[in-house]
Structure 1
Amino acid sequence: MAQIDYYFATISPYSYLAGTRLEEIAAKHGATINYKPLDIIALFGRTGGVPPKDRHISRIEYRAQELLRQSSNLGMDFNLQPAHWPTNAAPSSYAVIAATKDGSGDVGKLCHSFLRACWAEEKDIAEDAVIRDCLEDAGFDAGLADSGLLVGAETYAANLEEAVDRGVFGAPFYITPDDQRFWGQDRLTDLDRHLETLKD
């Protein structure tokens, strides 16, 4: 069974725009997804990137246009300047890590719930109440928000180191078992096609 290592940030607009397409592609190919939330700002600093606010104005303006175009094309609600962004992504990331270990609910749904809360629902995903609501919505016990915080912090940091070692430089980022790398939600079609070749 193929495995997809999925590196993402719970505050990434492009991770939000991926929607549930990764999960649909994985189901189509009988693949499993290894969810690996990470600190995207730290990743930029480690791999030659620049946080959005510090980019040249031409890049800032293009990013704004592109996000609005893509969200419109996908039919997804989207706030270009959400009320609670940037925010601390660590608490929601720890919840994803705890939920992955727990396994009682839908991790993909949880990830999208956090992303939708940030980019479409004007919620602060660093707040405990929001994290608990997202956990419950995805079929997990809300108490996971309080469990495994040390393991969550260690795994979150380890995900960043692993990502840097494996050539990840943005989010969303997908890596297949044969080390093919796909950056961005607009490369999901390419990922789909590649997984088809692994069956041959």
Structure 2
Amino acid sequence: MKTKPNRGKGYTAGNSCITEVVIDNKPTKLLLDPGAFCSCVVNKVSPVSLELEKFKSEQLNEAEISLHLSDKKEIELSALLYYHKEAFASDKEPLGAIIGHEVDIILNIERPYPPLLRRPAYPASPKSREYLEIDIKELLELGVIRKVGHNEEVEITTPVRVVWHNGKSGMVWYFRALNTYTVPDRY
């Protein structure tokens, strides 16, 4: 940032409260308090990335960032998340459906599968069932799960339990039995 003409600092005194500065080769007016005498220093101005601000408002609006981070660290964290934004789910590539990163589960057993892989649903309270239906509807809309037709045979089922934390519900999928019969991958 530099003043116009090229001096390196901008001064104002008396009743004048607007000075013109150049930031990234663009003239910009800077408003100062009337009667103030000050200088504008380059290292106190950070460029604002409109894309980063859009990412923060759209993608990080529900994120809870630690209050113990300094402003500088919070900005660095936001920039890091923005830089790696393709690692996260989006509207076009929802959770569990990242294009190019599909997962094939290979079992180490053949049909017929053991009864351990065909578990009945856990009982749920009416309150838990209500939230379970909301979560299932969301997963269906995201394409993470699909409905099974009435004549479609399902050989492997996984029970789900609803857990509560701080008044919020969450589903816990019981994959221990399935993991027992899954061929491990490199991850």
Q: What's the TM-score, normalizing by structure 1?
A: 0.19
Write 1 or 2 for the structure with the bigger share of strand: 2
Higher relative contact order (CA 8 A, sep 6+): 1
Q: What's the TM-score, normalizing by structure 2?
A: 0.19
* Structure label with greater radius of gyration: 2
